[in-house]
Amino acid sequence: MKSNSLDINQGNMIPYINMSLISRRSDESLKDFERSFNARVMDIFADNRLTTVEELKKDTEDFLKSVKMEFIWGESGKTKYVTLTRLTKILKKSPKSIRDLLPHKTVSTFVKITNFNLTIDITLLEELVNTVVYAEELYIKLLPFSENSTEISNYSLQDFVASHYVPKMIEEPERSDYYSAYAVGIIFFLLDTRKREYIFLKDLLSSTLLMQLEACINAENNCLPMPEIDVFTVAQFRSTLHEFRLLDTDRNGVLSRTELTDFREGNFNGMFLQRVFDISMTYENGCLDFKAFVDLVTAIRFRHTQASAKYHFEALDLKHDGILDEEEIRTAVCFQAQVIPEYVSDDTNVNIDIVTAELKDMLHLKKSGLTSEDFVADRMNPTFSGFLSNYADYIKYERREQ
């Protein structure tokens, strides 16, 4: 498990697009695409839907064939594009299902993302089509496992993963039940529902996290490059389960406060790890189960997400009043100052006042403190969280100008 976080969009998890195939991009355009994709996903739940999945698949296949017949090469001779003029003509002749899939706003967004002479990278069109068709098919598969047509529980989603994804693995996990809990734990965390028993199907489909789960399985089965979000692999699961078992010295399937304090991969400080118990759903005797441990490692790895920001804010909100203030920051800095010499012998003197002032400036902290909403919206929150929870990040930041 890595202590550094992946550079994931600070907002919600964006729908899957293979960005390595796109030469240029605009973050604002990607947000526009996310909004249009989410609107499209909502169409799946419309009562007056007329197009079936099979009809949509046939329509999209014909559409992509037409587009690929009208392509032009880019300057490098490696990327295929379709001009806006040609795409407009194709869309006029396409069935309603395709026109609904590519409204003017989505087409304009693709032009902005491509940013090449009023053309669209054909890869974008393929990714959109594949993602929407996948979401349509996935919705049908999820329905038998959902409690109603709009939500699915944590345990039902685990059953779904065990039934539809684990059997596809050439290398089946040592404990498939634990793997299902692990995968669903990551999904629930990233969709900001770690303390809820249910998740909305529209959020699950919009995130395309199950699509990325399948991409990880496919990559492992066929020795292909891993997707950007590679946490669903058997190797990542095995690493997390192995760490959990190492810490579980009592062999009772849960972690006590003492046991978790030994969690030192990435050098996380004891105060932060103790606070994990205060913000997590605990088992009998106040212990953490495997699911809560998955929450912790997911918060660490995906520190650039809203869900992780909320997790770290809870951990640093020592007074439990929904406000992060100077006193709480100073307390965390004091703890770091006491323990840093154990790890870096030449950093024996930490000026509490100076470091606290730096962190206040980092978040533009007001006298009244900072709310959770303000903290989540601040682009510096991943750096701030790492500084106060992780010795390695603390030292890296302190030595940034040396």
Axis-axis angle for helices 352-362, 326-343 (nearest 10)? 120
Identify the band that residue 29 occupies on the pLDDT scale cut at 50, 70 and 90.
low
| Residue that the structure tokens 């090449």 belong to | 116
Q: Taking the CB of residue 176, how many other CB atoms lie within 10 A of it?
A: 15
H runs (alpha helix) in 103-146: 104-114, 122-142
Give the least confident one: 155-159, 170-174, 267-271: 267-271
Higher pLDDT, 110 or 244: 244
Q: What is the mean pLDDT of residues 368-389?
A: 92
Contact 206, 15 (CB under 8 A): yes
Q: What is the mean pLDDT of residues 186-197?
A: 92
Q: What is the pLDDT of residue 86?
A: 96
- Which helix (H) or strand (E) segment holds residue 200: the answer is strand 198-200
Average pLDDT of the chain to the nearest whole number: 84
3-state secondary structure of 28: helix
Q: Taking the CB of residue 154, how many other CB atoms lie within 10 A of it?
A: 18
Q: What confidence tens digit (pLDDT) does each residue in 131-144 have?
A: 888 888 999 999 99
Q: What is the mean pLDDT of residues 188-216?
A: 90
Domain boundaries for CATH 1.10.238.10 within the chain: 269-399
Token pair of 256, please?
């006590």
Query: Does the pLDDT of residue 15 top 70, yes or no?
Result: no
Q: What is the pLDDT of residue 311?
A: 96
Q: Which of 182, 65, 187 is nearest to 126 (CA)?
A: 65
CATH of 269-399, one of 3.30.2020.30, 1.10.238.10, 1.10.10.10, 1.10.357.10: 1.10.238.10
From CA 53, how far away is CA 132, in angstroms rounded?
Answer: 10
Identify the band that residue 22 occupies on the pLDDT scale cut at 50, 70 and 90.
very low
